[in-house]
Structure 1
Amino acid sequence: MSASAEMLLEVGSTIKKEIETASGNEIFIRAQLNNKNIIKEIEVLARGNSNSAPAVINNIMAGEMIIHNHPSGDLTPSAADIRLAAKMAAREVGFAIINNQADQIYVVVEAGTKKEKQKLDKKEILNYFKKEGKLAQELERFSERKEQLVTAEKIIDSFNKHQFDFIEAGTGTGKSFAYLIPALFYNNLNQARIVISTNTINLQEQLINKDLVTLQRVLDFDFNAVLVKGRNNYLCLRKFKNFKKNFDNNELEIDKTLFNELNDWKKHTESGEKSEINFQLKKSVWNQIAAESDLCLKTSCPFYSNCHFMQARKAIYKADILIVNHHLLLSDARVKDDTGSVDRGILPNFNHLIIDEAHNIGEIATDHLGHPLYQPLLDNWLKRLSGDKNSLLSEIREDIAFTVDSDQKRLRDLLDKRLIPTTQKIRDLIPQYFNELKDLIADYKDKKITVNKNLQSNPKWEEFYKTAQDLAAYLKNNFSYLQMIYENLYLGLEAETDENEMKIKSSINRCHDLIKRIEFNLEAADDDYVFWLESSYYRGTEQIVQKSAPIDAGKFLPDMLWSKLTNVIFTSATITAANSFDYFYRETGIKTAEELKVESPFDYSKQAELLIPLNFPDPSNNKFLKELVINLKKIISKSRGSTMVLFTSYRMLSYCFNNLKDELEEQGIRILSQSKLSRNYIMQEFRAEYNTVIFGTSSFWEGVDLPGDILKYLIMVKLPFPVPGEPLYQAKEDLLKEKGLNPFYNLALPQAVIKFRQGFGRLIRSKKDKGLIILFDRRVKSRSYGQKFLDSLPEGCPVSEINCNELLEKINYNGV
């Protein structure tokens, strides 16, 4: 095999040192070539073992080359090398293999021509946002806003310079169009797929069904935008066939009317999306017919050509703009990071990312990087494996009957004498495992208990520890027996044509995941994580969950996601705290970024006023709740609706609801309480009915859009400080102390200010809105830190301290 060292003249020694640093294992390199085809610059993107390294290819550009070493010295490309090289060739990216001495190189695919990215014409794009521009011609109520122009200009620079940007754009700026138009122009010029991630469904639907539809009419070129949903949102036709078969055989506990509704929907649906279903359907029923990645037969499936998910996936790969939510974005990043393969993810390759509602990204990343363990997770795996006529073990038994006689006895013995007894032992241990956790947590008043040395010295923990070790051991045995049956009964069958083969592979993978979760949470040994036990109620039954989460998600995000991208724009109405982006830098783990802060174009001096009642008890005072109930009753009786009350805990919300419900109902006023009703139902009823009031917590502080006279009075009961002492919060505090930082000013206060700003932003949603914000927490005036909250208010918003009688005089049933 010919191999030339000429390409390595300038970088060979550097690569050799990198390989030595990786203990001679494989490394994955991104290389820049000069016009003489000599490698002039390298970047190590990943390190692996003696056989492989993760293929990190997301941000590789045409004209570049990817290189990895073969420690054996044999530069012959493997089948996996050939597949990756072919994929890179389609992107005009070169592919080469070197030895560990970095003095021989075998080029599998030559690098293509480096493509210079075309830059956006700033003047051309900004004209769209001016009073004589095309947006004004299309949108009836459009007005030129300097804030929108400044935001759009910053986003244009971000695309042109391939940089990271933090952009805080106040409510009403029009930031959706400010990033959509530059993004669409950039895609049209450079064929660069762009992903836009949001936190709420409302914003996703606004983008895909409203804003992008408008831009289809406004722009002079075509584009294709797709709303991306996870696989579980789609009907699996193969699973539905089995579902129908089981129903016909009376093997399903499902109402005939419901089955007929499902069957009729299945016949007529074009997308196969769960969101289309307009009748009641339990999650447990949907899961029996929903698509799943580890049960997919791919091209071997008889329904492949009509598969709803595959049709959606084809649309995704053809799209210019992909609209996703933060959960899907992070799930995709984690899968790719865990497997080292971009093919395993949901999203295709992309280099440009816009994160709207970006203030949520740290919290959602924390959730996604955790490893929770709860009983339904184990029960569902066990039910599929063993539990009814259609279980995997039953189907394995049938498949054994078709093997040659010499194998039947051995496989039956493996099934009956090993796998089934082990499975039964697991069945017995699961409730014991969680009952012992329940008994343990009963010794504590809190519903969230940190797993630390004190807890681990409790005799009940030591008893539970033995049970957990037993459960993990039996799961490992189960894993081994399933693997043996798979290798002896299914391995070697034609490529993934056997459904039971896919089921057993799925069961093996899920069993392995359960073992990892049990051991990770049991040992609680990762210093980057906090571990705790949490008691909650699920469908009226107490459920104990073992939870774990990274103390600092920002430590993981750069390697998992940001480093794979060339351009990221973070935007929200509330990124800063005390006019600083410092807290957001820590949340994201990003070291440097361009910054822009743009005020809202609304005239808060005329549209809103913050009222702070005088002589009101401090929230820590025993009289606070009683006085709150008295004043809420007076305010709501006067306003008779158009009011939302934001609480910081369900306990406070429930207390006020229980003490006000009957009296207000006698006046014909209905409280829509989050303690009793779903968020969607509350929003529908509030929009449809007069004389209704919202009592909300947590999710109602953001993502609620009620313009006009629908909402005129916003009441914030307390400043939204995080709950002190909770395991994750406590761990974050401890970490900040170790770094010499004050936890209150670097954690509690920024979180509270950002959430306060989100809550405040629920009231004024358009230039015509007017309203009052009432804050019953006098700490905003009595404590030194209170000024941080007042400084965070929109520019010009008046703040008045006022006695409760004067406050009532400001409330007018007919309007503000």
Structure 2
Amino acid sequence: MSVRDQLLKKAAKSLKKEIESASGNEIFIRAQLNDKNIIDSFEVLARGNSYSAPAVINNIMAGEMIIHNHPSGDLTPSAADIRLASKMAAREVGFAIIDNKAEDIYVVVEPGKKEKSKVLPKEKILNLFKAEGKLSKELERFSERKEQLSAAEKIIDSFNNHQFDFIEAGTGTGKSFAYLIPALFYNNINKSRIVVSTNTINLQEQLINKDLVTLARILDFDFKAVLVKGRNNYLCLRKYKNFKNNFENGEIEIEKELFSELQEWKEESKSGEKSEINFQIKSSIWNKIAAESDLCLNTVCPFFKACYFMQARKKVYKADILIVNHHLLLSDARLKEDTGSVDRGILPNFNHLIIDEAHNIGDIATEHLGHPLYKPLLDKWLKSLSGEKNSLISEIREDIAFYLDSDQARLRKVLDAKVIPASQKINDLIPQYFNELKTIVNNYQKRKITVDQKLKSTSKWQEFKTTAENLAGYLKNIAGFLQIIYDNLYLDIDDNTDENEMKITSSINRCHTLIERIEFNLKAEDEDYVYWLESSFYRGSEQLVQKSVPIDSGKFLPELLWSKLSNIIFTSATITAAGSFEYFYRSTGIKKAEELKLESPFDYSKQAELLIPLNFPEPGADIFLKELVKNLYEIIINSGGSTLVLFTSYRMLNYSYNNLKDKVEKKGIRILSQSELSRNYIMKEFRASYNTVIFGTSSFWEGVDLPGDLLKFLVMVKLPFPVPGQPLYKAKEDLLKKEGLNPFYNLALPEAVIRFRQGFGRLIRSRKDHGLIILFDRRVVSRSYGKSFLKSLPEGCPVNEVNLETIKQKILDNGAGIDEK
């Protein structure tokens, strides 16, 4: 294509000049085309080296074009070019390659039709948030907040300009309305679906059952909002029919009372959702009746019209706004990536995403991109194949006799002489596999052992390697034999509703997944991943897990998800560390975004106070725990309850609980310990009871909402630094060192500050809340890095170093205490 009368006609000289200014290296360009498909204007988004440049594609719109140069002069697209071009084609964005002189061009993908989105009416929307607006008339405790108005205005701009935005909005800002209202307006005028992703169920339920219900009354247009749940949350009517038949035939061991409860629930349920069940049901039972993607007959299923999941899916595809959680969002992205099709995902196609509680997205992505392997995963597959009365092998045997008039003997031989012996060998190898891993962990006397070259060179690992290769080999044999049976028995069957055909395909696919995980974790060679063995307790027994996760999930997220969208709003009360978004950029892999940081509208100068005990030992001191228990006793007795104590480890929590439980119970105070009770039970009991104290770790640092008198006192035992030496953390440290960065200031400190801010935010949840925060870690004032924590506190919050007597008096002044009589 000649540039003189085609695409590059006007821009050739300017493009050549930009390439020359980059010393002939690659540059990455966003180009706007005119009505004649000639480049009208362009901007350089990134510059690279002689063979690559960063692909910055945040804001590129349909009808535009990505152009980059190949310094070599060879305009043949690389594999990376093809992948990116495919992603851009889905967004109707063109993709082309030019030479350094801007004389030749190769168009990989033609640009689509340029779409002009209708602009949001900023003033009309912002008026809703003002004192005289509709929100004030609908919400009982409404007050106009400049922070909420600023957040809403930024979000309006984000939709209008198709930006990526980082918005930190302190507790009480009202950020859910600040993003929901512009999102609903944008959907109404542009008919563009919006997805909102959260981390916690509490926020999902607030959005769908409270906030969106309120907005349905306020807004002068209709909209449909749906809470999206994964397939496994729904009852499968076909599987339930088989389950019922097997129960009645005595082929399933289940209590009659539980079956009766299930039957009654099934008859009354309108949604078929597991969340409706108000009685105890084990996951092993639910999995027998739950919907599964690879065991779904879709339109040929006799229950298709009544299918709970399909009914829910119809609502999802008709919805204007979808509420999801981060796990489902990432599962959808990975499924679309693995299958190469947007139609195979959990969610319909979308281009606008709001991520609330965004500070968790990096950690959840790390989990989703991992390849864990544990014994129950293998056991479950093997049991479905050969371990039950109605196992796949027994059903295949019946089908051989039913379907085949000839060649039965050959297939029976494959089944009896190949599949069954291989499955028996796998049954022997599975416990051997995990026992050998357990021996390796026990040799190192640690709970978590990194799999590195040193470990792989040991005799124990070499012994395990033989077992692993044998296990993978027998699994490959099983997959091959099952494929032979499938090809000879089911391939030509005209009946599309054959369940065993579907089951054998599912079993083969799951077998290949197990093989991939075994081999991936055994090789442990991918430099982007960290591999380790972890010994943990699961339902009262020790379980050994092989884990492998990406060291830097931010390296994978742009290609997995961000590159497919033109507009994303990330928001949370805690995105920054010491006022900087730098850590969040790294964890998401995003190179460019608009930023907004808003303080909480609460008056922390009057509502809260941070107290740091004087002359208290630092956490590394031998007497720290002993002094902690002594001080906690005084605080708990004087508070009389309404107290949340946050620990950073179960070791400290258990020590404190064991040394305080009996003493405080004699004073009429109950300690609800996370080491003894579930999180949901603790929250329910704390809300319903007086004179109770929570001892929590991990999950209690965030997502806990106890407004008013429910929570008056918050105790943080230590600054929540990540545990050093853990495999993933150590791998992240090593990666930062390779990049010439300081791991403490670029990893440990920002993680701890964000966690600290989350914990701090548990206390003040409304304008009427008052309370004290007591921090027993004096490093916040004795170490130079302590300033980062203090700078992260809400504006105006008093910080005072005081003795224990003063703390006790302040607690009593806050209206606490128990009747010593």
TM-score normalised according to structure 1 size: 0.89
Written as runs of structure 1 = structure 2, the 5 A alignment for 1:433-452 is: 433-452=433-452
Written as runs of structure 1 = structure 2, the 5 A alignment for 1:671-682 is: 671-682=671-682
Q: Say whether residues 1:475 and 2:475 are aligned partners.
A: yes
The offset of 1:743, in angstroms, is 0.2
For 1:773 and 1:807, the matched residues in 2 are separated by 10
For 1:426 and 1:11, the matched residues in 2 are separated by 62
User: Percent sequence identity over matched residues?
Assistant: 74
Q: 1:405 to 1:739 in 2, by over 3 A?
A: same
Provide the residue aligned with 1:459 in structure 2. 459
- Worse-superposed segment, 113-122 or 473-482: 113-122
Q: Say whether residues 1:173 and 2:180 are aligned partners.
A: no
Provide the residue aligned with 1:637 in structure 2. 637
- Quick check: 1:11–1:41 contact (8 Å CA) kept in 2? no
Provide the residue aligned with 1:748 in structure 2. 748
- Which amino acid in the other structure matches residue 380 of structure 2? N
- Which amino acid in the other structure matches residue 312 of structure 2? A
For 1:103 and 1:749, the matched residues in 2 are separated by 48
- Which amino acid in the other structure matches residue 417 of structure 2? K
Q: Say whether residues 1:734 and 2:738 are aligned partners.
A: no
Partner-residue secondary structure (3-state), 1:386 = helix
- Quick check: 1:5–1:104 contact (8 Å CA) kept in 2? no
The offset of 1:813, in angstroms, is 7.9
Listed one character per residue, the Cα deviations across residues 786-810 of structure 1 (whole Å, up to 9, x for unaligned) are 1110111000000000011111111
Partner-residue secondary structure (3-state), 2:128 = helix
Partner-residue secondary structure (3-state), 2:515 = helix
- Quick check: 1:186–1:192 contact (8 Å CA) kept in 2? yes
- Which amino acid in the other structure matches residue 341 of structure 1? S
Provide the residue aligned with 1:801 in structure 2. 801
For 1:116 and 1:642, the matched residues in 2 are separated by 54
Partner-residue secondary structure (3-state), 2:512 = helix
For 1:36 and 1:300, the matched residues in 2 are separated by 49
- Which amino acid in the other structure matches residue 316 of structure 2? I
- Worse-superposed segment, 355-364 or 411-420: 411-420
The offset of 1:140, in angstroms, is 1.1
Listed one character per residue, the Cα deviations across residues 539-580 of structure 1 (whole Å, up to 9, x for unaligned) are 111110000010000000000000000000000000000100
The offset of 1:115, in angstroms, is 3.2
Q: 1:229 to 1:648 in 2, by over 3 A?
A: same
For 1:693 and 1:815, the matched residues in 2 are separated by 16
Q: 1:239 to 1:33 in 2, by over 3 A?
A: farther
- Which amino acid in the other structure matches residue 793 of structure 1? L
- Which amino acid in the other structure matches residue 806 of structure 1? T
For 1:783 and 1:258, the matched residues in 2 are separated by 58
Q: Say whether residues 1:326 and 2:330 are aligned partners.
A: no
For 1:502 and 1:261, the matched residues in 2 are separated by 30
Provide the residue aligned with 2:35 in structure 1. 35
Provide the residue aligned with 2:687 in structure 1. 687
The offset of 1:186, in angstroms, is 0.3
Written as runs of structure 1 = structure 2, the 5 A alignment for 1:119-518 is: 119-494=119-494, 496-518=496-518
- Which amino acid in the other structure matches residue 547 of structure 1? K
Partner-residue secondary structure (3-state), 1:173 = coil
The offset of 1:459, in angstroms, is 1.1
- Which amino acid in the other structure matches residue 169 of structure 1? A
- Quick check: 2:59–2:164 contact (8 Å CA) kept in 1? no
Written as runs of structure 1 = structure 2, the 5 A alignment for 1:562-641 is: 562-641=562-641
| Equivalent residue pairs, number | 760
Partner-residue secondary structure (3-state), 1:812 = helix
Listed one character per residue, the Cα deviations across residues 739-780 of structure 1 (whole Å, up to 9, x for unaligned) are 000000000000000000000000000000000000000000
Q: 1:466 to 1:223 in 2, by over 3 A?
A: same
The offset of 1:407, in angstroms, is 1.9
The offset of 1:59, in angstroms, is 10
The offset of 1:711, in angstroms, is 0.2
For 1:620 and 1:228, the matched residues in 2 are separated by 46
For 1:419 and 1:659, the matched residues in 2 are separated by 57
Q: Say whether residues 1:719 and 2:719 are aligned partners.
A: yes
The offset of 1:404, in angstroms, is 3.3
The offset of 1:445, in angstroms, is 2.0
- Quick check: 1:58–1:349 contact (8 Å CA) kept in 2? no
Partner-residue secondary structure (3-state), 1:535 = strand
- Which amino acid in the other structure matches residue 740 of structure 1? G
For 1:58 and 1:155, the matched residues in 2 are separated by 16
The offset of 1:63, in angstroms, is 6.6
Partner-residue secondary structure (3-state), 1:129 = coil
- Which amino acid in the other structure matches residue 424 of structure 1? Q
Written as runs of structure 1 = structure 2, the 5 A alignment for 1:654-669 is: 654-669=654-669
Q: 1:750 to 1:62 in 2, by over 3 A?
A: closer
For 2:435 and 2:676, the matched residues in 1 are separated by 29
The offset of 1:42, in angstroms, is 13
- Which amino acid in the other structure matches residue 291 of structure 1? A
Partner-residue secondary structure (3-state), 2:535 = strand
- Which amino acid in the other structure matches residue 381 of structure 1? W
Listed one character per residue, the Cα deviations across residues 224-261 of structure 1 (whole Å, up to 9, x for unaligned) are 00000000000000000000000000111100010011
For 1:580 and 1:59, the matched residues in 2 are separated by 23
For 1:630 and 1:404, the matched residues in 2 are separated by 78
The offset of 1:528, in angstroms, is 0.2
The offset of 1:414, in angstroms, is 1.0
For 1:647 and 1:195, the matched residues in 2 are separated by 35
- Quick check: 2:63–2:94 contact (8 Å CA) kept in 1? no
- Which amino acid in the other structure matches residue 231 of structure 1? R
Partner-residue secondary structure (3-state), 2:596 = strand
- Quick check: 1:712–1:815 contact (8 Å CA) kept in 2? no
- Quick check: 2:60–2:93 contact (8 Å CA) kept in 1? no
For 1:106 and 1:749, the matched residues in 2 are separated by 45
The offset of 1:403, in angstroms, is 3.1
- Quick check: 1:58–1:342 contact (8 Å CA) kept in 2? no
Listed one character per residue, the Cα deviations across residues 386-405 of structure 1 (whole Å, up to 9, x for unaligned) are 11220001000000002333
For 1:737 and 1:425, the matched residues in 2 are separated by 45
Listed one character per residue, the Cα deviations across residues 127-150 of structure 1 (whole Å, up to 9, x for unaligned) are 000000000011111000000001
For 2:111 and 2:616, the matched residues in 1 are separated by 72
- Quick check: 1:702–1:759 contact (8 Å CA) kept in 2? yes
For 2:686 and 2:273, the matched residues in 1 are separated by 28
For 1:567 and 1:492, the matched residues in 2 are separated by 47
- Worse-superposed segment, 398-407 or 201-210: 398-407
Listed one character per residue, the Cα deviations across residues 315-370 of structure 1 (whole Å, up to 9, x for unaligned) are 00000000000000011111111221112210000000000000000000000000
The offset of 1:454, in angstroms, is 1.7
- Which amino acid in the other structure matches residue 459 of structure 1? S
Q: 1:701 to 1:247 in 2, by over 3 A?
A: same
Provide the residue aligned with 1:46 in structure 2. none
The offset of 1:497, in angstroms, is 1.6
Provide the residue aligned with 1:47 in structure 2. none
Q: 1:799 to 1:813 in 2, by over 3 A?
A: closer
Provide the residue aligned with 1:524 in structure 2. 524
- Quick check: 1:198–1:358 contact (8 Å CA) kept in 2? yes
Partner-residue secondary structure (3-state), 2:222 = coil
Q: 1:655 to 1:495 in 2, by over 3 A?
A: same
Listed one character per residue, the Cα deviations across residues 247-283 of structure 1 (whole Å, up to 9, x for unaligned) are 0001111000100110111111110000000011111
- Which amino acid in the other structure matches residue 700 of structure 1? F
- Which amino acid in the other structure matches residue 462 of structure 1? Q
Provide the residue aligned with 2:72 in structure 1. none
- Which amino acid in the other structure matches residue 362 of structure 1? G
The offset of 1:103, in angstroms, is 12
- Quick check: 1:757–1:793 contact (8 Å CA) kept in 2? yes
Q: 1:547 to 1:262 in 2, by over 3 A?
A: same
Partner-residue secondary structure (3-state), 1:401 = helix
- Which amino acid in the other structure matches residue 124 of structure 2? E
